């Protein structure tokens, strides 16, 4: 739209110059107009970053980039279990985190300009949209931030509800990748929850990834207790009494066998073939 309106303005000036037969001015306008249009065509479609033209508009990636090329394998790891990362959003098997136990989530980032050009990484828990002053803004119940620009390293922990404790964030360069490690202890039980990562480079080329229902925080002690109860089902008291009476000779074999058959039928006792 900018080029079209500008061109129309020059057409009006051009027509006025023809009417005044000012040939010198006409030639100057020809040169200016042609140069302007060439410049506009060359920059069309580029994103602006840092107040200038975009010399590098390719954002970092944890896996598949915007052109569909796989740059990283195992771009996110949760407690040492690695997953390949698709572009933007994906479902993944829920990973169980134990309340109060140390957890690590690791991002493996590729940047085409080199690992030192990665300047920012965020890890969000349960992202959601919130309207502030009429503007839709993305929020999350908690998030961690690593930032390193011009040698000025900062760490941010945003967790008003104290869902996590002992948060530590580290970064290193390994085999051409930037590795960001978030370590923490989840302190609140949480149902299946989506993770969101946000990464950008020094030109502010940003990429977001959503991992739907990626984690679930449970009470490990109660979970073990429930599993134990399921593995060791309760035997009815009359079965126990029958066993004692049979051993004392107070009931016959048929009555005792009926008790065993009941246990097999109810799946309390399993017979291997």
| Domain range summary for the chain, segments of one domain joined by + | 2-43, 76-221, 233-273
pTM: 0.64
**What's the confidence (pLDDT) of residue 273?**
60
DSSP letter assigned to residue 129: E
- Closest Cα partner for 213 from 100, 90, 110? 90
Q: To which H or E segment does residue 131 belong?
A: strand 118-132
**What's the confidence (pLDDT) of residue 162?**
95
CATH 3.40.50.720 fits 76-221, yes or no: no
Residues of the chain with pLDDT under 70: 1-55, 223-234, 236-238, 266-267, 270, 272-273
Query: How confident is the model over 161-183, as pLDDT tens digits?
Result: 999 999 999 999 999 999 999 99
**What's the confidence (pLDDT) of residue 202?**
93
Distances in whole angstroms, Cα of residue 176 to Cα of each of 68, 72, 112, 114? 20, 10, 10, 7
CA–CA dist 113, 201 (Å, integer): 9
């Amino acid at each position: 739209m900018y080029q079209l309106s500008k061109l129309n303005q020059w057409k009006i000036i051009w027509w006025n110059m023809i009417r005044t037969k000012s040939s010198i001015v006409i030639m100057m306008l020809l040169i200016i107009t042609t140069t302007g249009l060439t410049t506009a065509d060359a920059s069309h479609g580029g994103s602006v970053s840092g107040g200038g033209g975009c010399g590098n508009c390719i954002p970092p990636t944890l896996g598949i980039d915007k052109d569909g090329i796989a740059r990283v394998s195992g771009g996110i790891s949760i407690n040492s279990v690695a997953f390949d990362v698709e572009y933007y959003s994906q479902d993944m098997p829920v990973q169980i985190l134990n309340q109060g136990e140390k957890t690590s989530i690791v991002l493996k980032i590729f940047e085409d300009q080199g690992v030192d050009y990665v300047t920012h990484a965020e890890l969000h828990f349960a992202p959601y949209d919130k309207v502030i002053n009429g503007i839709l803004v993305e929020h999350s119940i908690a998030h961690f931030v690593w930032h390193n620009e011009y040698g000025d390293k900062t760490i941010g922990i945003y967790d008003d509800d104290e869902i996590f404790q002992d948060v530590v964030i580290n970064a290193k360069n390994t085999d051409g990748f930037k590795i960001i490690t978030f370590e923490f202890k989840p302190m609140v039980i949480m149902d299946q929850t989506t993770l969101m990562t946000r990464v950008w480079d020094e030109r502010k080329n940003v990429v977001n990834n959503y991992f739907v229902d990626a984690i679930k925080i449970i009470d490990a002690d109660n979970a073990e207790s429930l599993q134990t109860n399921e593995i060791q089902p309760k035997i009815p008291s009359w079965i126990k009494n029958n066993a004692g009476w049979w051993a004392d000779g107070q009931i016959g074999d048929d009555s005792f066998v009926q008790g065993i058959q009941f246990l097999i039928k109810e799946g309390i006792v399993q017979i291997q073939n």
